[in-house]
Amino acid sequence: MTYSGTPIDTMTIWIVIIGMAVGSFVLRFVFIGFVGRRTMPEWLLRHLRYTAVAMLPALVAPLVIWPSLTAGQPDVPRLSAAAVTLAVAMIWKNVVLAIFCGAATLYGLLYLLGGGV
């Protein structure tokens, strides 16, 4: 993939890597490590049940609607592939089948529409 721009400063890269390594571990350890076997309140558990289903769609939605490789323009192959993947995943609850169908839709439409970048 092509990428143009000034190279990232080495010192910055190492600071980011070390900061993220420490930060990510602390984030993951904070509850399981410190809370341990103490029970957590019902209202908190009720909210936590919806963590994944709230965070992942929010992460994906902007990437689907404004993909980076098309300079942020919505495009038909990517929107269609996203719709097919989600539909297949919801109906058959099969992650691999959904990715396969989504990828087939993406490549098929990129080829047909000549939208390959």
Task: Indicate which single residue of 29, 73, 112, 113 sits in contact with another protein (rule: CB under 8 A).
Answer: 29
Residue 36, C-beta contacts closer than 8 angstroms, at least 6 positions apart: none
Report 51-70 residues binding another protein (CB under 8 A): 51-65, 67-69
**Given the complex with another protein, which of 21 and 112 has the nearer CB atom?**
21
Inter-helix orientation angle 76-92/95-112, to 10° = 160
Rounded distance, CA 117 to CA 106, Å?
12
For 14, phi then psi, to 5°, come to -65, -40
71 binds another protein (CB under 8 A): no
41 binds another protein (CB under 8 A): no
| The residue to which tokens 């080829």 are assigned | 111
104 binds another protein (CB under 8 A): no
The distance of closest approach from Cβ of residue 4 to another protein in the complex, given in angstroms and rounded to an integer, is 10
116 binds another protein (CB under 8 A): yes
